[in-house]
Amino acid sequence: MEKELGVLRAVVILWVSGTVTSFVLGAFATPIAYSLSGVSGGYVEHRWGIVAAIVVADALIGAVGVTVGVGFFGFRISYEAAFFALLVGGALTMAFTIFFVQAQLHTNTADPRSIAIPALGLATWPLQLLVGTLLPAFLVNSAARPSVARSAPPEIPPPPPYSGYQG
């Protein structure tokens, strides 16, 4: 009997869940997130509100897919643990992406303190893979436990009734 889900299985579950989540967000949740964050006062609040809404919605919807996917392999994971793993991965991925985009924008200015690093754009893909996929997969793998049905020993039938003297 397997004791761990495995990081490779967790990566596959995360990719499938991420594909379904992207489809759902692209079809339904993105216009809602734009309209909800559009109520805020300024441009900066709009941008950060949209980013936060999309990251949280992605984690909420993706956690459903992760719990279902983990169940297909005979393991169980709490919805909260799946949500936490996806939220950590999504938040770190978004933080790295925003950092690199901001750094790339500042390299084109005349500011003498800005550092021109053309490889920043190329660095986002490995970091997104590391923090957006492998870190959540590790967290999902460590939180997944074998389901009770598979980990319980086979049930022993009760002994037959005593057939002795009943005087």
Question: CA–CA separation, 151 vs 144, rounded Å?
Answer: 13
Q: Encoding tokens for residue 98?
A: 């925003």
Partners of 145 in the β-ladder: 76
Residue 32: CB partners within 8 Å, gap ≥ 6? none
Nearest residue to 76 via CA among 13, 18, 29: 13
Asked if residue 116 belongs to a domain, the reply is yes
Asked if residue 152 belongs to a domain, the reply is no
Asked if residue 150 belongs to a domain, the reply is no
How many structural domains compose the chain? 1
Asked if residue 163 belongs to a domain, the reply is no
pTM confidence score: 0.70
Asked if residue 159 belongs to a domain, the reply is no
Residue 132 belongs to what domain range?
Answer: 7-145
Asked if residue 125 belongs to a domain, the reply is yes
User: Residue 63: how many CB atoms within 10 A of its CB?
Assistant: 24
Half-sphere exposure of 29 toward its Cβ, with a 13 Å CA cutoff?
19
Q: Encoding tokens for residue 79?
A: 């919805």
Nearest residue to 77 via CA among 92, 90, 64, 91: 64
Asked if residue 137 belongs to a domain, the reply is yes
Asked if residue 45 belongs to a domain, the reply is yes
User: Tens digits of per-residue pLDDT, 71-101?
Assistant: 999 899 999 999 999 999 999 888 877 776 6
User: Tens digits of per-residue pLDDT, 93-140?
Assistant: 888 777 766 665 555 556 555 554 555 566 667 877 888 889 999 999
Question: CA–CA separation, 37 vs 45, rounded Å?
Answer: 8
Q: Please, are residues 141 and 75 in contact by the beta-carbon 8 Å criterion?
A: no
